[in-house]
A and B are shown apart, each in its own frame.
Chain A
Amino acid sequence: MKKPRRKKTASRRQSAVAVARRATGSVAHAKLKKFATINEPAAQRAAATEKAGRQEMREIQRLFAKAIMRPLTKGYNMQPKWTDGRSTKKAVGKFIKPNDRLSSFERIEIYNKQYWFRLLDSLYEDFPGLRALLGDARFHQLSIAYIDKHPSTSFTLRDLGQHMEKFLAKNPKWTQPHEKFARDLVRLEWAHILAFDGAELPPLEIDELLDRADPATLKLNLQPYLTLLACDYPVDDFLISVRRREEPRGEASNAISEKRTHARTKKVKVPTPEKAYLAIHRQDQGVWYKRLDPAAYRVLRALQKGETLQKAVERAALRGKSAENFPRTLQNWFAQWAAFGWFCRA
C-alpha cells in the first residue's frame, strides 16, 4: 500500500482544531479579542480569503455538476467534447486529479454514469404506462431528453416527473402518433404519485355539515391527494393492466450501482378512444382509480375550483341529468364521497 503523501499546507496552516485548543478560557478569549481589535486589516484579509475559498468551492462544484449532468454517449460513456468544443479530458483535468489507474476523465465519468443511471431509473419506475406505450428504447430516449430539459430541482426523485405532461405537450414528436393518449396517460401516472403519499387533511362529517350549512354559501374542500381527470381514453384500464406486471418501486439510499438491467417491457396496444372521468385517490394506503359519472365529475371539479355547493350541483343538473332522479343520485354520490373521506377542512 502506498503511503499517503501528507500535504504540508494542512500542518502549516492554523487549523480550527489548533485554534480551538488554544483559545479556551476567558483569558485566552480576551487576548484574542484584543488581538482582533489591533489586527483588523488581518481579520479583513482572513475574511476575504475565506470568501475566495468558498467561491472557489462553488466554482469547482459547478464544473463537476456540469460534467456529470451532460448526457452520455450512445455507448453510455462521457462525452469526449466539452461544452466549448475543447476535449472533456482537458477540461476535467483542470480540477480532477488522475491516479495511477484512472485518468481525470475516467474518474468523473463514474459519476456521470451514476447520475444518468439513477435518474433514468427513477423515470422508468414512475412511468410504466408511458414505457409500455412507447417501448423501452423510445422511452429511454424520451427520458434523456426530458431530464436534459427538466433536471431535478427537488431533494427527492419523487418529484422528477412533475413536468412530464408539459414536456410531452411541447414535444409531441416523442409520442407520435399517440400524443393525446400519452398525455392522458402521464396525467394519470403523475396523479398516482400524488395519491400515493399526498397530504391528507382531517375529513369532514358531511351529514352534519349539510344539515346546518346553507348550500348557497357552503364551499367544500377536497383532499389534496385526490386528482380528478377527464380523459379521452380509458387510461385507467390500460395502466392497471401494465402495473400488474411491474416490480415494486425502489427507494432512495446512498448505494450506487452499475446500469440496472430490467426485464424487457412488453408493448401494449393503444385502446380505442372512450371518455373516462376519473378520481385518483387513496384508500387504506392503496391508490385507486375510480370511474365517475360525467355529472359527478362536474360537481367535484366545481367544488375543487372553489365554487359553492349550490353552484356545483347546478352545473351537474343543467347538463342533462333528469330532474326526477337527480336529488337521490346526488345524495348517493355525496354519501359515497364522504365515506371515502374526500371532503376536508380548508
Chain B
Amino acid sequence: MPANRFNNFTNYGIGIGLRVPHYQHILSRKPTVDWFEIISENFMVDAGRPLHVLDQILEQYRVVQHGVAMYLGSPDGPDPTHLRKIKRLVKRTNTPWLSDHLCWGSVDGRFTHDLLPMPYTFAAAEHCAQKIREVRDYLEVPILVENLSSYAEFHASEMTEWEFLNEVVERADCGILLDVNNIYVSSKNHNFDPYDYLNNIPHHRVGQMHIAGHSKFEKYLLDTHDHPVLDPVWKMYAHVSKLTGPTATLLEWDDRIPSFDEVHKEALKANKFCKELVHEEAAA
C-alpha cells in the first residue's frame, strides 16, 4: 500500500524537514537523505535566498511540499493569490503530492497564524471537502490532509475527530497525512483511545505520516516539535504501519533544533518498523 494514488504512486522512505540551521550542512556535505519536506509558505516568495537555497536542494534531493496556511476549514473560499503562489512553487519543486492541515486559521480576512480545530459537524466536513476539491483541481497535484493536535473541543461537534476526518477525505476523495504524534497529543488532551483513531480511518488513503516530539504540561500535552519522538508514539507508529503498509514518513523537528545528524538519526529509527514490515510481507 505504500505507493498509492494519494501520494502519486511514489515509494518515498524516511524524510526530514528542511530547516535553516541545516542549510549549510546539507549543501556542503550532501548527506544521503530519502527526501526533504519543506514548509511551502517559507518558499512562497518572489526571489532571494530562500529560493536560491531551494534550487540547490532540488538539484540533489526529492522535495515534498507541506503547507501551514491553506486553512482548508476557514469559512472563506480559497484565496486565488495564495493558490497561484503555491502552484508556482509546485512547478518549481515538482512535488509528487502536497499536504496541509484539516483546520482553519483565518476568518473575515484576519489571520491567526495558528492551526485551529474544526467543529466536527457534517456541514463543516462538506465545506472542507469542497475546498479541498477546488484546491486540487487548480493545483493538479494530489492533496493529503493532516490531522491536528488540539487543545479545545466544541459543543457543536456531531462526531469524533476520526469520524470527521473520514467524512472529509471520503467526500473530497483525497488522501491523509497521518500525524501519529498529533493523535497521541489529542488523545491525552481529549480523553480518547488513540488506537480507536488509528483503527478507524481509511488506511488505504494514508499517503504519508508525520512523527514528532511533544511536551508534557501539568494538565495537557503541547505539540512542540522540540524533542525526540516518545515511546508511546513509536508504538502507535508501528501499529498503524502494519495497517497501512510502509509509508513515506517525515520527522518534524522545528524548535531547539539539534545537529542535522541527530535529527536524521532520530528519523531513521522509523526504518526499523518499515523493515520489519517488509520482512513480514516477504515471509507472508
Interface positions of A (Cβ within 8 A of B): 1-4, 6-7, 9-10, 13, 15-17, 20, 49-50, 52-54, 56-58, 60-62, 64-65, 68-69, 94-97, 99-102, 104, 106-108, 110-111, 114-115, 118-119, 151-158, 195-200, 224-225, 248-258, 282, 285-286
Contact = CB atoms under 8 A, between A and B. Distances in A.
Interface in B95-109: 101, 104, 106-109
A285 B49 contact: yes
A252 B121 contact: no
Interface of B: 17, 19-21, 39, 41-42, 44-52, 68-69, 74-75, 79, 82, 101, 104, 106-116, 118-119, 121-127, 129, 151-160, 163, 166-167, 170-171, 187, 189-193, 196, 212, 215, 219-220, 222-226, 252, 254-255
B123 A252 contact: no
Given A16-B167, A61-B104, 9 more contacts: A7-B163, A9-B158, A16-B122, A111-B116, A115-B113, A153-B110, A253-B255, A257-B255, A282-B47
Contact of A3 (B101, B107, B193): B193
Contacts of A200: 46-48
9 contacts: A4-B192, A4-B193, A56-B156, A60-B154, A97-B152, A107-B153, A115-B114, A252-B42, A254-B115
B153 A10 contact: no
B283 to A, nearest CB: 33
Contacts of A157: 113
Contacts of B167: 15-17
Main secondary structure, interface of B, reads: mixed
Nearest to B194: A1
B126 A56 contact: no
Nearest to A49: B123
B46 A197 contact: yes
B46 A224 contact: yes
B171 A16 contact: yes
B68 A108 contact: no
Given A9-B159, A251-B39, A108 B48 contact: no
Contacts of B219: 101-102, 106
A99 B153 CA distance: 9
Contacts of A100: 191
A64 B75 CA distance: 13
A97 B120 CA distance: 13
B155 A255 contact: no
A58 B107 contact: yes
B51 to A, nearest CB: 8
A111 B225 contact: no
B126 A50 contact: yes
A101 B68 contact: no
Among A65, A68, A158: residue with most chain B CB under 10 A = A65
A253 B49 contact: no
A196 B47 CA distance: 8
Given A64-B116, A102-B220, A255 B225 contact: yes
Nearest to A104: B152
Given A254-B101, A256-B114, A282 B48 contact: yes
Among A57, A198, A224, A282, the one with the most B-chain Cβ atoms within 10 Å of its Cβ is A57
Contacts of B108: 62, 65
Contacts of B51: 197
B156 A60 contact: yes
A283 B151 CA distance: 45
Nearest to A10: B159
Given A115-B114, A257-B226, A197 B49 contact: yes
Contacts of B151: 102, 107, 110-111
Given A10-B163, A57-B119, A102-B219, A155 B224 contact: no
A252 B41 contact: yes
A156 B110 CA distance: 11
A290 B80 CA distance: 37
A57 B75 contact: yes
A57 B49 contact: no
Contact of A255 (B158, B166, B255): B255
Contacts of B79: 155
Given A60-B156, A101-B219, A118 B48 contact: no
B107 A97 contact: no
B49 A96 contact: no
A106 to B, nearest CB: 7
Contacts of A196: 48-49
Contact of A20 (B170, B187, B193, B224): B170
